[in-house]
Amino acid sequence: MQMESNHIQNLYQACYKTPLLWKGNAVLDVMQLEFTTEQHSIFLRKLERQLRLGQLAEQFVFNTLELCDTIELLAENIQIQKGKQTLGELDALMTLDKKPIHLEIVYKFYVYDASAGASEIEQWIGPNRKDSLSEKLKKLVDKQLPLLHSNDCKSTLSQLKLEHLNFEQRIVFKAQLFVPYQHNVSFEHLNEDCVYGFYINVMQLEGFVDCQFYVPAKIDWFLNPNDNVDWLNYSSFKIAVNVYLENKQSPLFWMKNKTNELTKGFLVWW
């Protein structure tokens, strides 16, 4: 993967510092994996190919797990197959203080839309309206976590010589949340510390004509805004994001106002 070492380290740090979306088992009784390590600061793994954002987040979490003295990674990205058909994948099998754990890893970006549903969970959706927190949780609970207990998984565990272990199930679900501009959102089950910025639509963009903008590559969505980029003025930014909007894609942007305050947000097409 052709990225400079300091770039990878910055991405790793940003991912590591992203809070868990909820604490304990506050959502659907799905338990987050909470652990501490003092040796988290360096990404030591080799990336042999270009990875999507979610896959890169997995590698970052694996790296952190490997640096924890009380954790042993037994296997990762374990494909469960039935004949030639792939049924799914277990992200990781590990032990924490010698306790066997099946771990699933999720890193998401959601925006808040009160009209998307009646509950807090239903109201967080993908910035392109193609996915949602509730859909991801349903997939976790109904498909990804039960895969461990399927007959097809048993044969895979046997091949790995892990069939004798009684795995508990945990997840690492991290997220960056974005609220409507100048709008207060109440939190009941989710972690308010996951709010990273706001979102606006094209009509609201007119209120930021005096600001400067930057559109990071998707791989850099992990990062907090910094001033070491080539900023665009309002007119150039509108031209740059138009191709996203025409394709019903909501670009993530960094913004710098007249007092040099840096913020992060989505410009939604809808």
- In Å, how far from its chain's centre is CA 47? 18
pLDDT score at 159: 94
From the list 256, 202, 197, the residue with the least C-alpha distance to 226 is: 256
Residues 179-220 have pLDDT tens digits of 999 999 999 999 999 999 999 999 999 999 999 999 999 999
Q: Which of these ranges, 11-15, 32-36, 179-183, has the smallest mean pLDDT?
A: 32-36
User: In the chain, what's the furthest Cα-to-Cα distance?
Assistant: 63
| Dist. CA 17–CA 114, nearest whole Å | 28
pLDDT above 70: percentage of residues in the chain: 99
Domain ranges in the chain are 5-179, 197-268
Residues 156-178 have pLDDT tens digits of 999 999 999 999 999 999 999 99
* pLDDT above 80 (res 39): no
pLDDT score at 208: 98
Residues 120-158 have pLDDT tens digits of 999 999 999 999 999 999 999 999 999 999 999 999 999
pLDDT score at 2: 60
- SS3 percent helix, strand, coil of the chain, rounded to 5, is 30, 30, 40
| Token pair belonging to 8 | 């990878």
pLDDT score at 21: 98
pLDDT score at 35: 81
Residues 72-111 have pLDDT tens digits of 999 999 999 988 899 999 999 999 999 999 999 999 999 9
Residues 209-237 have pLDDT tens digits of 999 999 999 999 999 999 999 999 999 99
- In Å, how far from its chain's centre is CA 57? 7
Non-local (6+) Cβ contacts of 193 within 8 A are 19
> CB 77: neighbour CB atoms within 10 A?
12
Cα-based distances in Å from 115 to 85, 119, 120, 122, 176: 38, 10, 11, 9, 20
